[in-house]
């Protein structure tokens, strides 16, 4: 099979398409003939040598895919050869085939094609597990997501809105603000021109209940300032650095919580539980058309370097999909 590997840590030019042995399924896994994968910001960090795959994992990039089941392990009962599926991967999505535990596979939601389905697994499982399973956002609460126009952001806005929360987001330009409002955001704050703490307080003086944060250190203190009583800050990205300073009195006074998680390093059993919860709670919203994958563009696997350049420059809104 053809697959994308990094020659060495570096810029997009270290990405190479190479020939590798086809994978075989584990007893509790399937092999998928990949139709499409999608670029995540984590892939850029892996390419730069800053986010290695978990020990023993494949070096092929790619955290999600869609396609057709090509083979099943002897213990697998749910999936049959020929099923149209998408899957949450630990690695290996930028390829023509991948082996994945059966519990990380989902059916393609009703009404979607394989290109659209490839844009879902990583963002849906990340947003669902962090915002709803961990931070327990409630329908009458106020939610803020940073980077509202990115892959995670576009899904977080839609899911929080569909489940009844008020939604604010931060963005870096006016066209991204417009896109987020079209997706349902009640407030889109241009972080280059406005102070997000002031803006969320103007919208709701009692503060934000749940924040999904991609920035880490650079936003830590201001995020906690923006929280209301019993607010929950969930840090999932460190685009603004890893080491921050926080006056714990602010946290104490609000009885607030700071949580940080990584999906990729979770054991397969935990990923399967998240995937099952997503199928139960999110797949119906997609089938009803209330939540949809936002595909910025599709790029051939052979042009993977240009796909990384696009995401690195933040020129996208939603997801950049790679087709085999």
Ligand X SMILES: NC(=O)c1ccc[n+]([C@@H]2O[C@H](COP(=O)([O-])OP(=O)(O)OC[C@H]3O[C@@H](n4cnc5c(N)ncnc54)[C@H](OP(=O)(O)O)[C@@H]3O)[C@@H](O)[C@H]2O)c1
Shortest separation between residue 248's beta carbon and ligand X, angstroms: 23
Nearer Cβ to ligand X (34/88): 88
Query: In whole angstroms, how far apart are CA 15 and each of 92, 94, 102, 278, 309?
Result: 14, 11, 29, 32, 11
Residue 107 φ then ψ, to 5°: -70, 155
Q: Is 110 exposed, middle or buried (0-12, 13-18, 19+ CB in 10 A)?
A: exposed
How remote is the C-alpha of 140 from its chain's centroid? 24
Residue closer to ligand X, measured from CB, 57 or 172: 172
Shortest reach from residue 117's CB to ligand X, in Å: 17
The CB-of-67 to ligand X minimum distance in angstroms stands at 20
Name the minimum Å distance from CB 215 to ligand X.
5
Nearest-10 Cα torsion for 23, 29, 35, 36:
-100
Nearer to ligand X, 71 or 168 (CB): 168
Instruction: Report the nearest approach of ligand X to the CB of residue 195 (Å).
Output: 12
* Total length of the chain: 324
Could you give the CA distance from residue 30 to residue 79 in angstroms, rounded to a whole number? 8
Rounded least distance, CB 118 to ligand X, Å: 13
Residue 131 Cβ vs ligand X, minimum distance, rounded to whole Å? 12
For residue 187 the two structure tokens come to 């407030």
Token code pair at residue 28: 């509790």
Whether the CB-CB separation of 100 and 37 falls below 8 Å is answered with no
Residues that bind ligand X (CB under 6 A): 40-42, 122, 126, 146-147, 149-153, 170-172, 176, 191, 214-215, 236-237, 239, 261-263, 311, 314
Report the first-to-last Cα separation within the chain, whole angstroms. Answer: 11
H runs (alpha helix) in 66-206: 114-118, 121-127, 151-162, 174-182, 196-203
Closest CB to ligand X among residues 33, 199: 199
């Amino acid at each position: 099979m053809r697959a994308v590997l990094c020659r060495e840590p570096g810029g997009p030019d270290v990405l190479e398409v190479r020939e590798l042995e086809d994978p075989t399924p584990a007893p509790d896994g399937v092999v998928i003939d990949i139709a499409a994968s999608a670029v995540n910001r984590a892939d850029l960090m892996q390419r730069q040598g800053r986010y290695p795959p978990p020990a023993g994992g494949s070096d092929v990039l790619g955290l999600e895919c869609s396609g057709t089941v090509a083979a099943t392990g002897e213990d697998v009962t749910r999936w049959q050869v020929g099923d149209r599926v998408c899957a949450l991967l630990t690695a290996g999505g930028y390829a023509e085939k991948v082996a994945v535990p059966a519990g990380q596979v989902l059916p393609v939601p009703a009404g979607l094609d394989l290109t659209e389905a490839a844009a879902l697994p990583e963002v849906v499982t990340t947003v669902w597990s962090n915002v709803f399973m961990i931070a327990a956002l409630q329908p009458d609460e106020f939610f803020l997501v940073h980077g509202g126009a990115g892959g995670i952001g576009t899904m977080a806005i839609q899911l929080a809105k569909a489940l009844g929360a008020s939604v604010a987001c931060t963005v870096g330009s006016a066209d991204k603000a417009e896109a987020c409002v079209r997706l349902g955001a009640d407030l889109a704050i241009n972080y280059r021109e406005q102070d997000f703490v002031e803006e969320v307080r103007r919208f709701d003086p009692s503060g934000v209940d749940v924040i999904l944060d991609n920035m880490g250190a650079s936003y830590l203190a201001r995020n906690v300032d923006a929280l209301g009583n019993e607010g929950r800050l969930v840090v999932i990205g460190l685009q603004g650095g890893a080491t921050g300073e926080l006056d714990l009195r602010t946290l104490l006074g609000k009885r607030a919580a700071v949580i940080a998680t990584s999906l990729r390093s979770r054991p397969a059993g935990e990923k399967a539980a998240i995937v099952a919860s997503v199928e139960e709670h999110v797949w119906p919203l997609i089938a009803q058309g209330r939540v949809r994958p936002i595909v910025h563009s599709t790029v051939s696997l052979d042009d993977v370097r240009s796909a990384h350049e696009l995401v690195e420059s933040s020129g996208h809104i939603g997801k950049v999909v790679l087709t085999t």
